[in-house]
Amino acid sequence: MNRLLLAFTLCVLGVSSVSAQFDLLSPFAPKDCFSAARTAAGGAAANARLVSLISIGFPLAVDSTAPAIDLSMSTKDGKARLWVYAFITGATDSIVTIPMVRLIIACQDARNLLGGGQDVDIPVDGIGNVPLPTNYIEGAGLMSRLNANTNYQQFRAAYPDSTPSLAVLTTSPEEAFGFPAQSPFWLINWAPFGPDGGPGGDPNVIPFVCLVHATTGETICGTDIFTSVEDVVDGSVMVAPNPSVDQTSIMLPTSWIGSVVTIDAIAPSGEILTLGSAIPVASPLLTVSTSTLATGSYLLRVHSPVANVVLPLRVVK
């Protein structure tokens, strides 16, 4: 993904100065470029149906003399300089991903900026095939739901300049986070690592997650997901080794002893992969196999009937 963004940015820079590039790449809300993205995916002829939206947030530096280009979704208006649209198309229901930018006011397929409309390597593992509704919340409407959440307000007060490292709109085929099955929801993640699990995030930000139901606006943030922010910060909740190859261990608070938990890995697409269910917690340390997970970044969720904890996990094979 980083290589793609660098390539199309450098292509534009070939006909423009670095300063002008900041003006050319205009932030936009997903619905602003939906029609152009669907056309690029084959349109009505291919029965292109939107199944996911992805914004990967990191600053892209292309010139040491100029400020980095901020690609993250803005928490002021829900807009970003790049959105990846995932469509399910054709008789075989294959997944097609379209990276879109807006140059001044015109929506552009970013692949065309590489020359010839060539394909680009955008991971599609884990993207579901449930089409999104047309009335999903986005942009300023999405931000208004976030701003109404007390835990998010506290997070923003502590980290006023932070931006999400990842924002995904997806639909879970099963019940998730208290949302009914088939519910479309935004997963918005702030993390001290980049979109590939390595450097690139904001090291001054603690892991923080918000989930927003994309039609009702119901919002869950921060301490509604984590056991507590303090548990994550002081190390009483942690995952090691991280990155993981075939297995990892999860350290839980001692108050969880005696409970029964389920462990899920949540892919960037929103797909939920269950790693273990009905596991009795006999000690604070649980070991779980990650052998079924492909290389990539995940959110590792451990949940009991009364509590949840979510931590970032990187898997490398």
% of residues, the chain, pLDDT over 90: 25
Give alpha helix (H) positions in the chain. 2-13, 18-24, 34-40, 139-147, 150-158, 229-233
Overall average pLDDT of the 154-173 stretch: 84
Same domain, 37 and 168: yes
Same domain, 154 and 245: no
The neighbour count for residue 98, using CB atoms within 10 Å, is 24
Question: What is residue 289's predicted lDDT score, i.e. its pLDDT?
Answer: 93
pLDDT for 92-102, tens place per residue? Answer: 788 888 989 89
- How many domains would you assign to the chain? 2
pLDDT for 45-100, tens place per residue? Answer: 999 999 999 887 766 555 556 566 778 899 999 999 989 999 999 877 888 889 89
pLDDT for 249-262, tens place per residue? Answer: 888 877 777 788 89
Same domain, 186 and 271: no
Partners of 25 in beta bridges: 103
Same domain, 159 and 277: no
Same domain, 169 and 214: yes
Domain boundary among 204, 224, 244: 224
Same domain, 262 and 289: yes
Q: Distance between CA atoms of 297 and 267, rounded to whole angstroms?
A: 7
Q: Please tell me the number of Cα atoms within 13 Å of 77 on its side-chain side.
A: 8
Overall average pLDDT of the 161-183 stretch: 77
Same domain, 68 and 151: yes
Question: What is residue 48's predicted lDDT score, i.e. its pLDDT?
Answer: 95
Same domain, 37 and 164: yes
Q: How far is CA 116 from CA 1, 113, 220, in A?
A: 19, 8, 43
Mean pLDDT of the chain: 77
Same domain, 216 and 242: no
Question: What is residue 151's predicted lDDT score, i.e. its pLDDT?
Answer: 82
Contact 311, 246 (CB under 8 A): no
Overall average pLDDT of the 202-225 stretch: 76
At 283, the amino acid letter reads: S
| Least reliable range by pLDDT among 18-22, 115-119, 139-143 | 18-22
Same domain, 263 and 219: no
Comparing 194 with 162, which gets the higher pLDDT?
162
Domain boundary among 203, 224, 245: 224
Same domain, 172 and 285: no
Residue 295 belongs to domain spanning:
231-315
Same domain, 166 and 36: yes
Domain boundary among 224, 252, 276: 224
Residue 229, pLDDT above cutoff 50: no
Q: Distance between CA atoms of 229 and 259, rounded to whole angstroms?
A: 20
